[in-house]
Amino acid sequence: MQRFLLRRLVSLALSLLAASLAIFLVIEVVPGDPASYMLGLNASPETVAALRDQLGLNAAPPARYLAWLGGMIRGDFGISYTYKVPVADLVLQRLQVSLPLALYALALTAMLAFPAGLVAAARRGRAADAAVMGATQLGIALPNFWFAMLLVLVFSLHWQVFPAGGFPGWDSGLGAGIAALTLPAVALALPQAAILARVLRSALIETEGQDYIRTARAKGLTRGQTMLRHALRNAMIPVMTILGMQFSFLLAGAIIIENVFYLPGLGRLIFQAITQRDLIVVESVVMILVFAVILVTFLVDLAYAAIDPRLRRRA
Amino acid sequence: MTLLSVRNLSLSIGRHPILSDVSFDIGEGQIFGLVGESGSGKSMTALALMGLAPASARVRGTAQFGGIDLLAQTERQMTRLRGRDIGMIFQEPMTALNPMKTIGDQVAETLLVHRAVSRAATRTDAQAVAAEKLARVGLPTDRFPLSLYPHELSGGQRQRVAIAMAIALRPRLLIADEPTTALDVTTQAQILDLLRGLAADEGLALLLITHDLAVVADMARQLAVMQGGRIVETGATEPLFRAPRQDYTRRLLRAAEHRPARRPPARSTDSSAPLLSVEGAVRDYILPRPSAFAPHPLLRAVDRVSFSIRPGESLGLVGESGCGKSTLTRAILGLDPLQGGAIRLGQAPVTAGRTMPAALRARMQVVFQDPYGSFNPRHRVSRLVAEPFHLTGRPPDADRRIAAALEEVGLSAADRHKYIHEFSGGQRQRIAIARALIIRPDLIVLDEAVSALDVRVRAQVLDLLARLQESHGLAYLFISHDLSVVRAVTDRVLVMQSGRIVEEGATEDVFADPRHDYTRRLIAAAPKIPETWKEDADADAD
């Protein structure tokens, strides 16, 4: 198990290094001058030269890469060109919204998907299965911003139980923060839960056909018992894969939902940085997102090994 | 005392009858054999008795078991009976256990599910009993801790775990559905011994389902022969073997012992140059490093193996799974490189990968075991059979040759327009042979090519192979774990153990007078129908 962990950690570090190099190359080295791009078409040559100097673009690319990498390791991501504040502060501030939102949405996703998937698989071909399959089909087909608007109409305008948008900050109390994130989290979770429920259902149905399920039934287990004690754990591998991908998506992919609810999250930060051509912010946020994705993949790999004893030795 | 009395068990799925009026009795502590070819309804009978038939199946009839009718029980009542009064084990030990749970937990589960009768209130109690039961089936805890996972055990060991699970609560009836079909002969002999011992010691009745007549002859006192969902004949085993009343039973018995008429290769070929020669072949596998900086250990799967095949000769290669048969086969076919020694076909060296010329590859073809997995289901037979033409270039008369190859193996030229799922297992194996034949190779490697076939189909395919060998002067390398088949169809035989050839000689000599200890053990372990039983059957047939 220790060797497994060590190997995974080495591969994690290498993936990060490779990703940082790719991002650096795309943004800084590929033809086109970042400084003139950031300043737009009407900038004077002097301004561009000044910015080049300020960004350190006159140094050789390898030196620039090492400086950038070293800065990130120290937690120094540079100063945002538009906001004039350190990128690290900016990102930390936004993560305080995006990370809880992603985790909240993920928890809701699992809470909705597991019962739905289990019921559908257990009652395969019956009314309950048809209902779950119909609902999930709808959940996948309808975009999450549409759910968001519907939720605002019902829960904010009609019943007035949750705020319609904005984020008061965690200073104003845990309850207020959670309340502000509830409708966005639900809107994000519904389509994701629909996907996950379907994945769980088909994984369970496939597992139910395995020989060891028949063996378990021959021991005297009921269908429900075989599903919970034998099928579910075996069906968790594809489910964990999807959950990992969903978390990565939720962290950065919530741009539309953040816009609908006026939430100062990471997604909006990237969107604004791109429109304002703030390459320093774009570069750093992309790197942080890549880090998050790789970290989640690492955790999913650990989860695989925890679930399946066969994977502990092999990897 | 009758333990189980089945009367007029019928089962249908949709409008298809699967079982019709199946009736038989099993006495307390008796070993009862249920034999038949695949699709005859043996397994479905067992599943119906366990209440595990598919949900869409309609079951009628009665099955009296200790005062209750199994077929009239509700699902809830059946869950109490299963595992407690009736245990069941299945064919595939590799997949019959949950890969994610320890063997201790899986055996203990039987006890915990039936907590009321097992008196195992806690997981610890249950684990203690599980340890005892695993020791009973030959897996003592000091060598096989309860914390092992199924993938850490061999097939035979896994089957023992499955048996421990099934007998943990001392059921009165154990249903064993082809329990040894997936195992090697020596492992099979051990598992059959274990089952026999359990029946004797624990007074447990055994319903033994198998396609292997020799296994039944060895084990069962009573037996029933099934065909097409009906029991065609039932009775005490010995009289039934000696004097089968039904024509079907007679044909089955004859097919099991079938030896195709073969002409031994002409003596003159003895001196001729070998067609295939293997000289000191070594094949190593690289294993994962034991620690981060240690060198990779090597597993020597084939260890300095030498032999040759003459043109037109049939050479057998026998040995248990893991002995290196398949690894050697892959090297001979030029699929994997050797780490030492050489393989020559004619005068040309056999090398792996692209370095081997297509013309050389065209002189060797192969037929694999699985008639279902070895064809692309989306291609028509004409395209499947024509596959080897990529080695020779497609000849102008390809269509005629496809038709001719199909006719040679007993199919019709019109079959080339069909897809593979339209054929039975035996027909598919014929198509595989047609595919091997179409470019007129000198050597065909038959890798367990008849192992998955029913006895009667197997007999036909063996006849076909013998006929083709004679007409085309083919050489065969016949790889099998089934000693009786190898004995029936080969001129010479190699016995392989742990990567080495331990014995080699003319087939009849090796079987009649095995020299090596391992060969002796293999031959002794193979179940046989007693010779004295056969004479009567033969006399009857003639």
Higher-confidence position of A82 and B536: A82
Provide the 10 A C-beta neighbour count for residue A218. 26
Q: What pLDDT score does B435 carry?
A: 93
Least confident of A75-89, A230-244, B390-404: A75-89
Distance CA B176, CA B212 (A): 13
Q: For residue B88, which residues of chain A lie inside 8 Å, CB to CB?
A: 218
Comparing alpha-carbon positions, the chain B residue that sits nearest to A208 is: B98
Comparing alpha-carbon positions, the chain B residue that sits nearest to A237 is: B100
Q: Work out the average pLDDT over A254-281.
A: 87
For residue A124, the number of C-alpha atoms closer than 13 Å in the C-beta half-sphere is 18
Q: Inter-chain contact A218–B79, Cβ cutoff 8 Å?
A: no
pLDDT band at A165 (very low <50, low <70, confident <90, very high): confident
Q: Inter-chain contact A233–B100, Cβ cutoff 8 Å?
A: yes
Residue with tokens 């004949």: B233
For the cut 80, the answer to whether the pLDDT of residue A268 exceeds it is: yes
Provide the 10 A C-beta neighbour count for residue A122. 19
The H-or-E segment that residue B478 falls in is strand B475-480
Least confident of A42-46, A297-301, B364-368, B484-488: A42-46
**Which of B90, B113, B292 lies at the smallest CB-CB distance from A221?**
B113
For the cut 70, the answer to whether the pLDDT of residue B5 exceeds it is: yes
Q: Work out the average pLDDT over B434-445.
A: 92
Distance CA B356, CA B363 (A): 12
Q: For residue B151, which residues of chain A lie inside 8 Å, CB to CB?
A: 309-310
Q: What percent of chain A has pLDDT over 70?
A: 97
Q: Does B133 touch chain A (CB under 8 A)?
A: no
Q: What pLDDT score does B184 carry?
A: 85
For the cut 70, the answer to whether the pLDDT of residue B251 exceeds it is: yes
Q: DSSP strand E in B287-322: where?
A: 298-309, 314-318
pLDDT band at B198 (very low <50, low <70, confident <90, very high): very high
Q: Does B101 touch chain A (CB under 8 A)?
A: yes
Distance CA A253, CA A298 (A): 20
Looking at the DSSP bridge assignments, the partners of residue A154 are none
Chain A to chain B Cβ contacts (< 8 Å): 75
Residues 253-272 of B with CB under 8 A from A: none
For the cut 90, the answer to whether the pLDDT of residue A194 exceeds it is: yes
Q: Which of A212, A214, A237, A307 to mutate to test the interface with B (most CBs of B within 10 A)?
A: A212
Q: How does DSSP assign B2-17, residue by residue?
A: EEEEEEEEEEEETTEE
Q: Work out the average pLDDT over A254-261.
A: 86
Minimum distance, in Å, between the CA of residue B103 and any CA atom of chain A: 12
pLDDT band at B541 (very low <50, low <70, confident <90, very high): very low
Instruction: Please give the domain boundaries of chain A with CATH numbers for all domains.
Output: 2-74 (no CATH), 87-314 (1.10.3720.10)
Minimum distance, in Å, between the CA of residue B529 and any CA atom of chain A: 31
Q: Which of A9, A206, A215 to mutate to test the interface with B (most CBs of B within 10 A)?
A: A215
**B345-354: pLDDT as tens digits:** 988 999 888 8
Residues recorded for chain B: 542
Q: Work out the average pLDDT over A239-243.
A: 93
Q: Does B97 touch chain A (CB under 8 A)?
A: yes
Q: Does B115 touch chain A (CB under 8 A)?
A: no
- B104-107, long-range: CB < 8 A, 24+ apart: B104/B130, B104/B131, B104/B134, B104/B145, B104/B146, B104/B147, B104/B148, B105/B146, B106/B150, B106/B161, B106/B165, B107/B133, B107/B134, B107/B146, B107/B161, B107/B164, B107/B165, B107/B168
Q: Could you tell me if A241 and A300 are in contact, meaning their C-beta atoms sit under 8 angstroms apart?
A: yes
Q: What pLDDT score does B539 carry?
A: 52
Q: Does B166 touch chain A (CB under 8 A)?
A: yes
**Helix, strand, coil shares, percent, chain B, to 5:** 40, 25, 35
**What are residue A45's phi and psi, to 5 degrees?**
-55, -35
**Which of A3, A217, A308 lies at the smallest CB-CB distance from B52?**
A217
Q: What pLDDT score does A7 carry?
A: 83
Residues 403-432 of B with CB under 8 A from A: none
Q: Inter-chain contact A215–B79, Cβ cutoff 8 Å?
A: no
**B493-535: pLDDT as tens digits:** 999 999 999 999 999 999 999 999 999 999 999 888 888 887 5
Q: Does B287 touch chain A (CB under 8 A)?
A: no
Q: What pLDDT score does B268 carry?
A: 45
Average pLDDT along chain B: 90
pLDDT band at A47 (very low <50, low <70, confident <90, very high): confident
Q: Does B100 touch chain A (CB under 8 A)?
A: yes
Distance CA A24, CA B382 (A): 55
Nearest to A114 by CA among A132, A140, A131, A90: A132
Q: What is the ipTM of this complex?
A: 0.83
The H-or-E segment that residue B68 falls in is strand B68-69
Q: Could you tell me if A276 and A82 are in contact, meaning their C-beta atoms sit under 8 angstroms apart?
A: yes
**Which of B50, B87, B100 lies at the smallest CB-CB distance from A308?**
B100
Distance CA B467, CA B459 (A): 12
Q: Could you tell me if B183 and B93 are in contact, meaning their C-beta atoms sit under 8 angstroms apart?
A: yes
Minimum distance, in Å, between the CA of residue B108 and any CA atom of chain A: 11
Distance CA B501, CA B316 (A): 12
**Which of B83, B101, B149 lies at the smallest CB-CB distance from A219?**
B83
Q: Work out the average pLDDT over B41-63.
A: 93
Minimum distance, in Å, between the CA of residue B83 and any CA atom of chain A: 4
pLDDT band at B298 (very low <50, low <70, confident <90, very high): confident
Q: What pLDDT score does B123 carry?
A: 86
**Which of A220, A229, A307 lies at the smallest CB-CB distance from B82?**
A220
Q: Does A66 touch chain B (CB under 8 A)?
A: no
Minimum distance, in Å, between the CA of residue A309 and any CA atom of chain B: 6
Comparing alpha-carbon positions, the chain A residue that sits nearest to B287 is: A314
Q: Does B184 touch chain A (CB under 8 A)?
A: no
Q: Could you tell me if A237 and A304 are in contact, meaning their C-beta atoms sit under 8 angstroms apart?
A: yes
Q: Inter-chain contact A222–B75, Cβ cutoff 8 Å?
A: yes
Q: Which of B43, B89, B98, B102 to mutate to test the interface with A (most CBs of A within 10 A)?
A: B98
Residue with tokens 């002995």: B323
Give me the amino acid identity at B85: D
Q: Inter-chain contact B95–A212, Cβ cutoff 8 Å?
A: yes
pLDDT band at B401 (very low <50, low <70, confident <90, very high): very high
Q: For residue A220, which residues of chain B lie inside 8 Å, CB to CB?
A: 79-84, 110, 113-114
Q: Does A126 touch chain B (CB under 8 A)?
A: no
Q: Could you tell me if A97 and A169 are in contact, meaning their C-beta atoms sit under 8 angstroms apart?
A: no
Q: For residue A222, which residues of chain B lie inside 8 Å, CB to CB?
A: 75-76, 79
Q: Could you tell me if B31 and B210 are in contact, meaning their C-beta atoms sit under 8 angstroms apart?
A: no
Q: For residue A210, which residues of chain B lie inside 8 Å, CB to CB?
A: 95
For residue B285, the number of C-alpha atoms closer than 13 Å in the C-beta half-sphere is 11
Q: What pLDDT score does B542 carry?
A: 44
pLDDT band at A313 (very low <50, low <70, confident <90, very high): low
**A68-82: pLDDT as tens digits:** 889 888 888 888 888
CB-based contacts of B215, cutoff 8 Å, min separation 6: B33, B180, B188, B192, B208, B527
**A100-122: pLDDT as tens digits:** 999 999 999 999 999 999 999 99
Cβ-in-10-Å burial (0-12, 13-18, 19+) of B526 comes to: middle
Looking at the DSSP bridge assignments, the partners of residue B6 are B24, B63
CB-based contacts of A216, cutoff 8 Å, min separation 6: A225, A226, A229, A230, B98, B109
Distance CA B4, CA B6 (A): 6
**Which of B76, B83, B99 lies at the smallest CB-CB distance from A218?**
B83
Give me the amino acid identity at B347: Q
Q: Inter-chain contact B75–A212, Cβ cutoff 8 Å?
A: no
Q: Does A175 touch chain B (CB under 8 A)?
A: no
Q: What angle do CA B501, B504, B505 make, to 5 degrees?
A: 175
Q: Which of A123, A208, A219 to mutate to test the interface with B (most CBs of B within 10 A)?
A: A219
Q: Could you tell me if B306 and B280 are in contact, meaning their C-beta atoms sit under 8 angstroms apart?
A: yes
Minimum distance, in Å, between the CA of residue A226 and any CA atom of chain B: 11
For the cut 50, the answer to whether the pLDDT of residue A217 exceeds it is: yes
Q: Does B77 touch chain A (CB under 8 A)?
A: no
Q: Inter-chain contact B166–A310, Cβ cutoff 8 Å?
A: no
Q: Does B73 touch chain A (CB under 8 A)?
A: no
Give me the amino acid identity at B8: N
**B76-128: pLDDT as tens digits:** 999 999 999 999 999 888 889 999 999 999 999 999 999 877 777 788 889 99
**B264-286: pLDDT as tens digits:** 665 445 567 899 999 999 999 88
Q: Does A216 touch chain B (CB under 8 A)?
A: yes
B198: which 2 tokens?
């359990």
Average pLDDT along chain A: 88
Q: What pLDDT score does B72 carry?
A: 94
Q: What pLDDT score does B535 carry?
A: 57
Give me the amino acid identity at B33: G
Minimum distance, in Å, between the CA of residue A310 and any CA atom of chain B: 7
Q: What percent of chain B has pLDDT over 90?
A: 65
Q: Could you tell me if A121 and A227 are in contact, meaning their C-beta atoms sit under 8 angstroms apart?
A: yes
Provide the 10 A C-beta neighbour count for residue A129. 17
For the cut 90, the answer to whether the pLDDT of residue B195 exceeds it is: yes
Distance, C-alpha B233 to centroid of its chain: 24
Minimum distance, in Å, between the CA of residue B452 and any CA atom of chain A: 19
Distance, C-alpha B367 to centroid of its chain: 16
